[in-house]
Amino acid sequence: MNLAAATNESLANASNVLIYSSMAVYTLAFFAHIAEWVFGSRSKVGRTAAALSAPGADAGAGASAAAGKAQAGGTAVLERPKVVTRAATGTRDVPDGPGAAGGTFKGDLWGRIAISLTLVAFLVEAGGVATRALSVERAPWANMYEFSITFSTVAVGSYLVLLALKKNVRWIGLPLVTTVLLDLGIAVTTLYTDSDQLVPALHSYWLWIHVSTAILCGAVFYLGAVGTILYLFRDSYENKVASGGTPGKFASSVMERLPSAASLDTFAYRINAAVFPLWTFTIIAGAIWAGDAWGRYWGWDPKEVWSFITWVAYAAYLHARATAGWKGRKAAYLALVAFACWLFNYYGVNIFVSGLHSYAGV
């Protein structure tokens, strides 16, 4: 074994160590996120969030304002107006919940610990991806194992960027870390592939462009799917409360701390709409690469077909959102169908369907 081969093998082993280490830190972050929700459930803010939009709240606010004026010697004291968001159905105004921490100091402390651990795990995993790239001397996403570890890294990175931009997305933390652990578990046990060089068809700079954009799109589509699923739960909860029903204690504790259904619906729509043009570019870039590699831009290969089906599904969702009769739950179901198409395009086509894209194996 020459020096270069020994160095590459050492880098590959280092990459594996970093990926397993990131899984250990993600596990700690997972428990910290759970602790945030558990301690936040004791918050009175969380248990009474729905009461803020009750009919009596306006009267109470008026009384408080009158008292404020009296205490100020008759001088009008302007209070900050309550900010509410309108639900997708257009029939109710519901405030956003206080978040997973529930407005409690202890819950917030655990939340900050969870975010810190998630950041550390992200950096360790990113190091594992970079080390894998060095070991193979190419882009680290030429097979399903490499795609999976890069995908989870980008998904967590996108979440951290949204947090850095002061977006109200801490509620994504627990489902995100849970999914990342599942993704990495499948990657290291089922999809793992030893470091190897590319087949001739992949020797192109389009590997960096086409696959990297596909990974970024999938990661952001995933965040949109989480928002959509939670929107459906929160919308059902709000409908039950509005109709006079009494949700269970657990449902109330969780749902009241999430953003309103309207906010979740808007978040999912904006995320999907923002990344859809990039998915369009991904398909175009793949067609150009196919022209260079195989002498034709489109051949209805299974991967090409399902990429196009995914594009059509998301286009239908965005069109549905622009149509008055398809807002809310109907559009949300369509968004989940679109993400399911993306998942099948990755797992189903790669594992169960043979085609020109099968050269990378699992």
Strand segments (E) across 23-139? 85-86, 93-94
pLDDT tens readout for residues 51-72: 444 444 444 444 344 334 334 4
Gap between the Cα atoms of 351 and 362, Å rounded: 7
pLDDT tens readout for residues 216-269: 999 999 999 999 999 999 999 999 888 888 888 888 888 989 999 999 999 999
Min mean pLDDT across 89-98, 230-239, 344-353 is at: 89-98
Q: Measure CA 210 to chain center.
A: 21
> If we measure between CA atoms, which residue out of 272, 271, 267, 263 comes closest to residue 316?
272
pLDDT tens readout for residues 67-83: 343 344 443 333 433 43
Asked if the model's pLDDT at residue 31 lies above 50, the reply is yes
% of the chain surpassing 70 pLDDT: 80
pTM over 0.85: no
pLDDT tens readout for residues 303-321: 889 999 999 999 999 988 8
Whether the Cβ atoms of residue 24 and residue 184 lie closer than 8 Å to each other: no
Q: Is 52 helix (H, G, I), strand (E, B) or coil?
A: helix
% of the chain surpassing 90 pLDDT: 50
pLDDT tens readout for residues 95-125: 888 888 888 899 999 999 999 999 999 999 9
pLDDT reported for residue 54: 44
pLDDT tens readout for residues 276-302: 999 999 999 999 988 887 778 888 888
pLDDT tens readout for residues 258-275: 999 999 999 999 999 999
pLDDT reported for residue 51: 45
Whether the Cβ atoms of residue 261 and residue 247 lie closer than 8 Å to each other: no
Q: H or E segment at 122?
A: helix 105-136
pLDDT tens readout for residues 186-216: 999 998 888 776 666 677 788 889 989 999 9
> If we measure between CA atoms, which residue out of 270, 18, 277 comes closest to residue 131?
18
- Cβ partners under 8 Å of residue 357, min gap 6: 301, 302, 303, 349, 350
What's the CA angle centered on 285, arms 141 and 279, to 5 degrees? 80
The per-residue pLDDT of the chain, averaged, comes to: 82
